[in-house]
A and B are shown apart, each in its own frame.
Chain A
Amino acid sequence: MADLNDLTRLSASELATKLSSGEVSSVEATQAHLDRIAAVDDKVHAFLHVSVDALANAKRIDERRAAGESLGELAGVPVAVKDVLCTIDMPTTAGSKILEGWVPPYDATPVAKLRAAGLIPLGKTNMDEFAMGSSTEHSAYGPTHNPWDLDRIPGGSGGGSAAAVSAFEAPLALGSDTGGSIRQPASVTGSVGVKPTYGGVSRYGAIALASSLDQVGPVSRTVLDSALLHDVIGGWDPRDSTSLNEQWPSFAAAARAGAAAESLKGVRVGVIKQLDSPGFQAGVSQRFHEALQLLTDFGAEIVEVDAPHFEYAVEAYYLILPAEASSNLAKFDSVRFGLRVTPEGGGTVEDVMAATREAGFGDEVKRRIILGTYALSAGYYDAYYGSAQKVRTLIQRDFAAAFEKADVLVSPSAPTTAFKLGEKLEDPMAMYLNDVTTIPANLAGIPGMGLPMGLAPEDGLPTGFQIMAPARGDARLYEVGATLERLLEQQWGHTLPSQVPSLG
């Protein structure tokens, strides 16, 4: 049984209330999470690096609060940072040997915003190398283990961030989502994660995987906590030319409105036929339909929508992503940062570059760079990359038609619960198909949220509910998500994350 005085069991919002009232100090809250990391992270391996400055930073926030300074709502709350985001005071490796020990000369914008808002970075979380994967098994530093079952994957690429929040090592984390790397880990670890509208959060200082798909977003145990974090990290950044220069509403206000809603009357919830597949795990489909019934009982109108081109989404994605990645990863050239390996007997700068990339990149990274190089080759460009970009148009049209009929679109966040470590490692295509539910939102640039919808009856593991909204409609996710979260918790009589094994 969890200790009710254990500060790590509080949501970020609850902790923030205790911090602002002075009941708890940031040093106490930070120490509690560092203690938890020390106690369980040898089993979970969510962290690649734990900050040595966290307590000093927490002390400064306590002093500023004591001095009467007006601080942000989350000031003093600890947060974990996915290792894809540059941090000036901590190594940033993106899960790769090629960047082992590299300390960036600047902070990523979302990290700079965390610091400005007074949050306390606890450390850097594990991930598939350069965010290529759905299991964290492609991390050069070993996999993260799912806190619900240590023999299973925590999802990927952001398995470290999801495992950190679900193991109560941090109340909040940052993730990045290129094809589901926030939402799929949330699904298999019973946590909440949001991929914002493309351009809603700056990508400056996020080590790029596929620039037209990548988006940084919040990871947490509650919908409100993700909203609070999204409010901190979002907004225009002149350093990211794809960042949207517009005003965003308060997502925390949207989540609070959703949690207080008395009915969903007038809300049209679209079920995407292609993502309610008989091929999904039975317990996932069962929990999904029970959640739909809950929404119906609360007044929502359920409509079925057709997205005929979604069946091409995974294929288009695995052409566009490798193509963009092969270009983005060209920067790892052994000259400006990271590893340098000189071949035996020396060689030209090109020989050194090739030897370095051979030694520094893992199998999945090599696989995708070679695939991307192939897809961009003269003669194949139109057939592969060109066709994939056309599929992207068709998927956007499917979404546009669906949003004519529905205010939000929903599906399971992932087709199955967490699979066993090692199970899909030797079959790349099987691993890729795992992303079928999450990839369409990235291709279209729209926002998506994953939140827990219960444990699958057959294996007792978490399942996730995905909500998608039109571009710029992120507030709608928080509103509907917070309503569904409340309805589910009323039914269960507890939160889902509270049911995770103690690991202690």
Chain B
Amino acid sequence: MTDTNPGAITSEVVSHLASLARIALTTDEIEKLTGELGAIVNSVAKVSEVATDDVPATSHPIPLSNVFRADVPGVTLTTEQALAGAPEHDGSRFAVSAILGEEQ
């Protein structure tokens, strides 16, 4: 794993990550996060010291085989319940602004 040398955290990297995560960070926030994330990443990179090829990964603490329920309709939310917390709806559907921008 030591052959992977992760790139430095720059403000461009943070800005790109913010767009992937759909958070409209301000310039000040990007600058602050760049420094903080750099320090955190330098610290957590330590995990690669012991993560050798012969160690299997664990994604889940208690092994479970796939879990299926019986294929019968269950109790679900009504339309009214599902829409109750929505910022905007038309009575049967969630309402949003344009999906595509003008240039698309």
Interface residues on A, range: 35 or more
Question: Across the two chains, which residue of chain A brings its CB closest to B61?
Answer: A445
**CA of A139 to CA of B101, assembled, Å:** 35
The answer to whether B47 and A316 touch across the interface, beta carbons within 8 angstroms, is: yes
Main secondary structure of the interface of B (DSSP, over half): loop
**A297 interfacial by beta-carbon distance below 8 Å:** no
Contact with A along B83-102 (1 / 0, CB 8 A): 01111100000101111110
Question: Interface size for chain B: under 10, 10 to 19, 20 to 34, or 35 or more residues?
Answer: 35 or more
B59 at the interface (CB under 8 A from A): yes
Bound: A358/B26 CA distance, A? 8
Contact with B85, one of A104, A312, A349, A374 (Cβ below 8 angstroms):
A104
What B residues does A106 contact at CB under 8 A?
77, 81
Cβ–Cβ < 8 Å partners of B18 in chain A: 370
What is the bound-complex CA distance between A388 and B40, given in angstroms? 14
CB closest residue in chain B, given A240: B67
Interface flags, A350-372, vs B, CB<8A=1, else 0: 11111101100101001101110
In the complex, the answer to whether B57 meets A390 with C-beta atoms within 8 Å is yes
Name, among B17, B46, B52, B58, the residue most crowded by chain A CB atoms within 10 Å (CB to CB).
Answer: B58
**Could you say which residues of chain B place their CB within 8 Å of the CB of A428?**
36, 39-40
From B33, B46, B58, B67, give the contact of A367 (CB < 8 A).
B33
Are A355 and B24 touching (Cβ within 8 A)? Answer: yes
A241, B62: Cα distance in complex, Å: 12
- Contact yes or no, B47 A445, CB < 8 A: no
Whole-angstrom distance between the alpha carbons of A98 and B103 in the complex? 30
Interface residues of B in 1-52 (CB under 8 A from A): 1, 4, 6, 9, 13-14, 17-26, 29, 33, 36-37, 39-41, 43-52
CA distance A387 to B18 in the complex (A): 24
Q: Mark B54-65, 1 if CB is under 8 A from A, else 0.
A: 011111111010
Q: Does A473 contact B (CB under 8 A)?
A: no
A residues in contact with B64, CB < 8 Å: 199, 241-242, 244
Q: Flag if A393 contacts B44 (CB, 8 Å).
A: no
Which residues of chain A are near B9, meaning CB under 8 Å? 374
Which are the 5 A-B pairs with shortest beta-carbon distances? A445-B61, A387-B51, A340-B87, A337-B85, A389-B57
| 7 A-B pairs in the complex with CB atoms less than 8 angstroms apart | A198-B62, A212-B59, A242-B60, A244-B62, A335-B96, A357-B21, A369-B23
Interface residues of B (CB under 8 A from A): 1, 4, 6, 9, 13-14, 17-26, 29, 33, 36-37, 39-41, 43-52, 55-62, 64, 67, 69, 77, 81-82, 84-88, 94, 96-101
